[in-house]
Amino acid sequence: MKLYSTNNKDLRVSFKEAVFNSFPIDKGLYMPVEIPQLSSDFIKNIDHFHFQEIAFAVTQAFLGNEIPEEDLKKIIEEVINFEAPVVPLSNELGVLELFHGPSLAFKDFGARFMSRIMAYLSDKNDKTLDILVATSGDTGGAVAQGFLGVKGTRVTILFPKGKVSEIQKLQLTTNGQNIRALEVDGTFDDCQSMVKEAFNDPELNEYFNLTSANSINISRLIPQTFYYFHAYAQALRQNKKSISFVVPSGNFGNIGAGLLAYKMGLPVQHFVAATNINDTVPRYLQSGVYMPKSSVQTLSNAMDVGNPSNWVRIMELFNNDLQKIKEMVSSASFTDEETLSGIQELYQQYNYIACPHTAVAYLGAKEICNAQEFTIFLSTAHPCKFIDVYSDNLKNEIQIPTQVKELENKTSLAHPLKNEFIELKKFLLNN
């Protein structure tokens, strides 16, 4: 698999280089030179395959023989060891639950795949791999779980002070071992831009073997395509042939993966990117002017992103043709008040308890849902991660999984960091 940079179409790097360097020096993002196509036979019969088989076929389409079949199968079996069910709510509406992994968020797919791929591809004699990750809430916990105790790696998580939920904070800050957390006095966008700056800093690159575990890294995107194919397989089994996806969107890596799956041959009618009031993309699709804004805090905190990294990849998938994008993707934003009514409505109408991000996706789904097709909205995190958002009657109904109960007795350790790149640099050089 060869990749180019969105800022330099002539550049060619290998998959291994893209995984370990993650962010091209020209500040673009890596994209596959060729989008692999899955055969129409495979797609037609996809309902005969189980999740791991689908994930294997998709990865092999990208990587060819770069990883021998037996080794790749083993990696996939380890990564995909939890379910991603499509739960039907009605004839027209289903919810794809992506929160059954260890950190209770969809980020587990990407983080688990990435940690196994990095361990497999790294040269044993390489110096420690320093993984930097910015999080608005969910990525950090998944990456911590994915890399905890992985030899030869050290993870540094930057998160915005006071802007993640209590459970998310515990997931980020109680791991110890090779995982450390920096509590930044700023927003997620500040954390993300500090991390990006680190990749372009000559001194840091001389001392450290730096890479990213955010969705700017292409190895996060590949595994996030798996569940779109698997959802389609499940829809076929439920006799639904025409489907659309509604994706709660922050950094746009999740919907980016869905659109990649579509470009690989997955039959999808339409995508909706549902956002909270951090609405850079909905505004862009409406006005044609791309104007990122500083992110603001909302109840769906993992989507508090003002400058979504992956939008450039989506543009690239459609040859930067805004009209073509609009034919396939629409976008809508919702306030916190609407999100809370979405949560209530889902509970009252379907007896379903959704996290705030999922509720935003549900509101987006309501806008396009129709009798001719099956609309699947993605549920990206378990509601227990946002327990303070719910009214008492709902709170009491939320089952708390063991991994969350276990967090309660752990000690939280985070290093405070001013919102300045030089502070991050000093921390990295001195610790």
Active-site annotation, residues: 107
Angle at 60 between CA 28 and CA 20, to 5 degrees: 35
Q: Supply the minimum distance, in Å, between the C-beta of residue 71 and ligand LJ64HWYM.
A: 26
Kindly write down the DSSP assignment for every residue of 11-25, as one continuous string. Answer: EEEEHHHHHHH-S-T
- Let me know: does 178 contact 147? Beta carbons within 8 Å: yes
Phi, psi of 375 (to 5 degrees): -100, 125
Q: Supply the minimum distance, in Å, between the C-beta of residue 50 and ligand LJ64HWYM.
A: 26
Q: Supply the minimum distance, in Å, between the C-beta of residue 194 and ligand LJ64HWYM.
A: 13
- Distance of alpha carbon 412 from alpha carbon 172, whole angstroms: 8
- For ligand LJ64HWYM, the closer of residues 57 and 387 by Cβ is 387
Q: Supply the minimum distance, in Å, between the C-beta of residue 105 and ligand LJ64HWYM.
A: 7
- For ligand LJ64HWYM, the closer of residues 140 and 258 by Cβ is 140
- For ligand LJ64HWYM, the closer of residues 189 and 373 by Cβ is 189
- For ligand LJ64HWYM, the closer of residues 46 and 305 by Cβ is 305
- For ligand LJ64HWYM, the closer of residues 5 and 307 by Cβ is 307
C-alpha 379: how far from chain center: 12
**Contacting positions for ligand LJ64HWYM (CB under 6 A):** 135-140, 214-215, 250-251, 253, 302, 305, 309
- Distance of alpha carbon 67 from alpha carbon 406, whole angstroms: 37
Q: Supply the minimum distance, in Å, between the C-beta of residue 110 and ligand LJ64HWYM.
A: 7
DSSP for residue 133? E
What ranges make up the beta strands (E) of 91-238? 93-97, 129-134, 153-160, 179-184, 209-212
- For ligand LJ64HWYM, the closer of residues 163 and 240 by Cβ is 163
- Let me know: does 275 contact 360? Beta carbons within 8 Å: yes
Q: Supply the minimum distance, in Å, between the C-beta of residue 291 and ligand LJ64HWYM.
A: 20
With b meaning 16 or more CB within 10 Å and e meaning fewer, what string describes 262-272?
bbbbbebbbbb
- For ligand LJ64HWYM, the closer of residues 46 and 417 by Cβ is 417
Q: Supply the minimum distance, in Å, between the C-beta of residue 327 and ligand LJ64HWYM.
A: 25
**Short-list 198, 302, 298, CA closest to 252:** 302
Query: How many other C-beta atoms are found inside a 10 Å radius of the C-beta of residue 352?
Result: 18
- For ligand LJ64HWYM, the closer of residues 222 and 235 by Cβ is 222
Place of tokens 């001013």: 418
What is the enclosing helix (H) or strand (E) of 2?
Answer: strand 2-5
Q: Supply the minimum distance, in Å, between the C-beta of residue 186 and ligand LJ64HWYM.
A: 14
**Short-list 235, 226, 217, 193, CA closest to 106:** 226
- Distance of alpha carbon 246 from alpha carbon 257, whole angstroms: 13
- Distance of alpha carbon 9 from alpha carbon 11, whole angstroms: 6
Nearest 10 degrees: Cα torsion 35, 38, 43, 46: -110
